[in-house]
Structure 1
Amino acid sequence: MKVAASSLRKGFVVDMDGKLYVVLNVENIHPGKGTPVTQLNMRRISDGVKVSERYRTTETVERAFVDQRDHTFLYQDGEGYHFMNPESFDQLVASPEVIGDLGAYLAEGMVVQLSTHNDLPIALELPRTVTLEIVETEPSVKGQTASSSYKPAILSNGVRTMVPPYIAAGTRVIILTEDGSYQERAKD
């Protein structure tokens, strides 16, 4: 199905020259003079090559339809990341290239949206937030309350983030999966 290039969003799959690409980033550019354009950063599904394309907003691209279903993350090994469809109990293996940086936030038993095309995993969508524990952080310095200052912390999954000064090691916090930023202290 042909769609306007300006209507594409992150995670959409497009068909260009018979090859499938997953959209990684979309930027609509409106220069002061000239035609607005849409800059697409994409990854070719077959071999993982990243491609950057620029379209006029009026141009159309072929959108490929993918099957998007909930899957449960099971485990990771040398083959890749293993997921199970909770309805049919079919298992799929996604390569590390498909998962990318999101692999750090996967936890056993987590339900995620897995996009497949011809039973081949092509994209992953995590829940908006995850709850993780602070493993290591610097002690807060007394008197740093004049401005909202943040201090570095390492989460239980190894990711570094910035947290408010009152957060100590061992505290469970809610993290946004899209950028790894601190959201709030967990209420559990």
Structure 2
Amino acid sequence: MKISGVDIRPGNIIEYEKGIWKVAKTQHTQPGKGGAFMQVEMKNLIDGRKTNVRFRSADTVEKVRLDTKDFQYLYADGDALVFMDKDTYDQINLPADLIGDAAAFLQDGMEVTLEMYDERPISVALPEQVEATIVEADAVVKGQTASSSFKPALLDNGVKVMVPPHIGSGTRIVVDVYERAYVRKVD
């Protein structure tokens, strides 16, 4: 489906210069002289390149619809990650860099969504939030107020996040996978 260059939004998948791109950021700009345009930062889903492009309202791009399929994460095999199709039980190996930094949050048996283009997986979406255990947390510094200060903590998956001062080692917390941020303590 064709869309105008100024209607591009973050998260859209578009076809541009014979490639498939995911839009990361957009900024609508209306200069004093000339027509308005949309400054678009996007990443190629096939080879990982990033680019910035200006689209005017007269420009049109093809918005791509990706097929999604539910898979289950099984295990890491070197630089590859092994997933299983939940319907057919077929296994698929994908490079770890397809997921990027979020790969640290993968847990055995985790359900993920693969986005497919022409039957080829091009991205893996993890759940927005996961539970993790704090293995190491700094001590509270005397005089800090609970409302404004956070302290660094190391999770069982090796990721560092900032947590409130009252959270200590051994505590299970919910973490936002993509922001790498503390959400709440597990009840």
Change (3 A) 1:82 1:119: farther
Question: How much has 1:147 moved relative to structure 2?
Answer: 4.5
Q: 2:63: which partner in 1?
A: 63
Q: 1:104: which partner in 2?
A: 104
Change (3 A) 1:39 1:83: farther
Change (3 A) 1:17 1:30: closer
TM-score under structure 2 length normalisation: 0.87
Structure 2 Cα separation of the partners of residues 136 and 54 of structure 1: 46
Residue deviations 1:23-70 (CA, integer Å, cap 9, x gap): 3x1222334635443232223233222222221255321122221122
CA RMSD of aligned residues (A): 2.1
Residue deviations 1:71-91 (CA, integer Å, cap 9, x gap): 111112225222222012222
Q: 2:32: which partner in 1?
A: 33
**3-state secondary structure, aligned to 2:108:** coil
Unaligned runs of 5+ in 2: none
Structure 2 Cα separation of the partners of residues 7 and 77 of structure 1: 41
Among the aligned pairs, what percent are the same residue? Answer: 36
Question: How much has 1:151 moved relative to structure 2?
Answer: 0.5
Change (3 A) 1:93 1:41: farther
Are positions 1:13 and 2:43 aligned together? Answer: no
Structure 1 Cα separation of the partners of residues 7 and 137 of structure 2: 42
Question: How much has 1:93 moved relative to structure 2?
Answer: 2.4
Correspondence list, 1:117-136, <5 A: 117-136=117-136
Change (3 A) 1:146 1:182: closer
Conserved 8 A contact 1:40-1:53: yes
Structure 1 Cα separation of the partners of residues 46 and 149 of structure 2: 44
Unaligned runs of 5+ in 1: none
Structure 2 Cα separation of the partners of residues 33 and 79 of structure 1: 50
Residue deviations 1:86-131 (CA, integer Å, cap 9, x gap): 0122222222332111111111111112101123211122212110
| Amino acid paired to 2:91 | Q
TM-score under structure 1 length normalisation: 0.87
Change (3 A) 1:72 1:116: same
- Number of paired residues? 186
